[in-house]
């Protein structure tokens, strides 16, 4: 069987990651996410294809990181992948961002069971526990959910495994894991849904025949809202104490 030609995009974190498998060679790119990501993503894809001497029509499929992650990033990756797929008549591959973090942890440290955890902002963390079944193939042990640092540390203590992802940069999570009582935890803070991890997931998904009609592509949000209301923010602030000064 010839090597598939696959493009993959993930914009769920603070970095947009691209991967292109073409002619048995892997090419990757990484660039900042944020407000400009939607404007810079298409030129980056075009540059990657040009570098490989490959066209969209020559691809076998296009993968996108479905999340969970930053709402704007998820929508950007999904919309760009849909547009490219519809324009070229290619199918999509929906790739789990946290599985890509787990794959990245495996590539760095060889671990086969991983709590993949990314910063969800607002003092929370997206996390899921994965078991590796083979190259680029991961099975959920605990589904993606929104955790506080304390609740994730408690889950890790109940089901010990390596912890990987940018959520480890959060001091509150570091403190909670340190106090959890789980012995000898391996922490892999630099694991990310990077190009090499995306390529491995896309290749495995392609081999399993997990292609998707572009019209059916949807992000995996997990959180149902992106920001607190004014009332919710005020409710978390310390209540002012009445003055005890005599009139």
Count the neighbouring beta carbons within 10 Å of the beta carbon of residue 86: 13
Residue 2 pLDDT grade (very low, low, confident, very high; cuts 50, 70, 90)? confident
* Residues 151 and 204 reside in one and the same domain: no
* Per-residue pLDDT at 243: 39
* Per-residue pLDDT at 38: 74
- Report the CATH number that the domain containing residue 177 is assigned in CATH: 3.30.420.40
Tell me which residue range forms the domain holding 150.
98-188
Sheet holding 25-32, edge to edge: 25-32, 15-22, 6-10, 61-67, 92-96
* Residues 89 and 11 reside in one and the same domain: yes
Q: Is 179 within the bounds of a domain? A: yes
Cα distances from 116 to residues 10, 36, 156, in angstroms, run 15, 27, 11
Question: Which of 157-171, 208-222, 229-243 shows the lowest mean pLDDT across its residues?
Answer: 229-243
Burial (CB count <10 Å: 0-12, 13-18, 19+), residue 91 = middle
* Residues 175 and 210 reside in one and the same domain: no
**Does the pLDDT value for residue 236 go beyond 90?**
no
pLDDT digits (tens, 9 = 90+) for 10-69: 999 999 999 999 988 999 999 998 777 778 899 999 999 999 999 999 999 999 999 999
* Residues 34 and 11 reside in one and the same domain: yes
* Residues 26 and 147 reside in one and the same domain: no
* Residues 209 and 90 reside in one and the same domain: yes
* Residues 141 and 82 reside in one and the same domain: no
| Number of domains comprising the chain | 2
Cα distances from 243 to residues 240, 246, 247, in angstroms, run 9, 8, 10
For residues 91-116, average pLDDT: 98
* Per-residue pLDDT at 234: 44
Rounded Cα distance between 175 and 114, Å, is: 19
* Residues 52 and 86 reside in one and the same domain: yes
Average pLDDT score over the chain: 90
For residues 95-119, average pLDDT: 98
Q: Taking the CA atoms of 107, 111, 113 and 115 in sequence, report the sign of the dihedral they define.
A: negative
* Per-residue pLDDT at 214: 95
The contacts of residue 135 (CB under 8 Å, 6+ apart) are 200, 203, 204
**Does the pLDDT value for residue 231 go beyond 80?**
no
Q: Is 204 within the bounds of a domain? A: yes
């Amino acid at each position: 069987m010839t090597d598939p030609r696959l493009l993959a995009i993930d914009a769920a974190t603070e970095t947009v990651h691209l991967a292109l498998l073409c002619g048995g060679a892997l090419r990757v790119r990484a660039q900042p996410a944020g407000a400009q990501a939607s404007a810079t993503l298409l030129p980056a894809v075009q540059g990657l294809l040009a570098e490989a001497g490959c066209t969209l029509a020559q691809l076998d499929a296009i993968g996108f990181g479905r999340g969970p992650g930053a709402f704007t990033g998820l929508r950007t990756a999904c919309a760009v992948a849909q547009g490219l797929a519809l324009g070229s008549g290619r199918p999509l591959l929906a790739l789990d961002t946290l599985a890509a973090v787990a794959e990245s942890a495996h590539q760095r440290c060889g671990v086969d069971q991983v709590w993949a955890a990314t910063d969800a902002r607002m003092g929370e963390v997206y996390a899921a526990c994965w078991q590796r079944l083979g190259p680029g193939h991961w099975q959920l042990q605990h589904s993606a959910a929104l955790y506080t640092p304390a609740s994730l540390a408690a889950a890790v203590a109940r089901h010990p495994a390596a912890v990987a992802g940018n959520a480890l940069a959060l001091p509150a999570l570091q403190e909670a894991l340190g106090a959890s009582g789980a012995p000898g935890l391996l922490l892999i803070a630099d694991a990310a849904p990077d190009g090499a991890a995306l390529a491995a997931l896309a290749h495995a998904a392609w081999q399993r025949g997990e292609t998707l009609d572009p019209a059916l592509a949807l992000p995996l949000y997990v959180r149902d809202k992106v920001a607190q209301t004014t009332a919710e923010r005020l409710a978390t602030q310390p209540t002012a104490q009445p003055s005890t000064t005599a009139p």
